[in-house]
Amino acid sequence: MGKLLEPKGPTDSDRPEDSADDEPIVVQGTPEQRERNRAALEWLARQTRAQEAFDVRVIADHDSSRIPAPLASVLYRVAQEALRNAARHAEARNVELRVRHDATSATLEVIDDGRGFDVKRAEERRPGMGLFSMRERVALVNGTLTLTSAPGRGTRIVATIPLEHWNPNEG
């Protein structure tokens, strides 16, 4: 992985174009820092819109700013990989990144209107590294990743991470 960067805010546009591994990592702390959770996803959406032929929209609830940094980073990386998959395979026109947070969990939902695929058939074959890495990242923090898709119906990926037993000194 590349070095870890923090976005300056929603107007951060001064990143080098060739810095694929230098994405912002989400942080928590002061009110300004907590705003970076959404800002990081907005930055990813802007970068994707600039490079791909589809629109990306971020929808984050107010509490998404309180997701602990290591867990927010996992959700960011899942969003990043889901957007890569949409670009490579989906032929999508629109993708939504939805982030929700409550007292017990943080959830990222990535929905595209692409061509979709037969999930069962795809899972019978050797899964690609993208899906594997998303599942692994989420599993490492005791979360779940579900994938729903069908030919002609787009794809929906949901990563849910439990917060109730989160200990920042672990993992």
* Tens digit of each residue's pLDDT (9 = 90 or more) over 96-112: 999 998 889 999 999 99
CB 160 within 8 A of CB 105: yes
Where are the extended beta strands (E) located within the chain? 55-60, 94-101, 105-112, 144-149, 155-162
Whole-number pLDDT of residue 54: 92
Residue 18 tokens read as 């060739």
Q: What is the pTM of this model?
A: 0.76
Q: Is residue 105 part of a domain?
A: yes
pLDDT tens digit sequence for 55-66 = 999 998 866 667
Q: Is residue 16 part of a domain?
A: no
How far apart CA 67 and CA 37 sit, in angstroms, is 8
Which residue bears the tokens 């609830």? 61
pLDDT exceeds cutoff 90 at 148: yes
Could you tell me the CATH number of the domain that includes residue 98?
A: 3.30.565.10
Q: Looking at the 3D structure of the chain, how many domains does it have?
A: 1
Which residue bears the tokens 């000194």? 169
Q: Is residue 118 part of a domain?
A: yes
Identify the domain containing residue 145 by its residue range: 31-162
pLDDT tens digit sequence for 78-94 = 999 999 999 998 999 99
Q: Is residue 2 part of a domain?
A: no
How far apart CA 39 and CA 56 sit, in angstroms, is 14
How far apart CA 154 and CA 45 sit, in angstroms, is 18
Q: Helix, strand, or coil here: 153?
A: coil
Q: Is residue 73 part of a domain?
A: yes
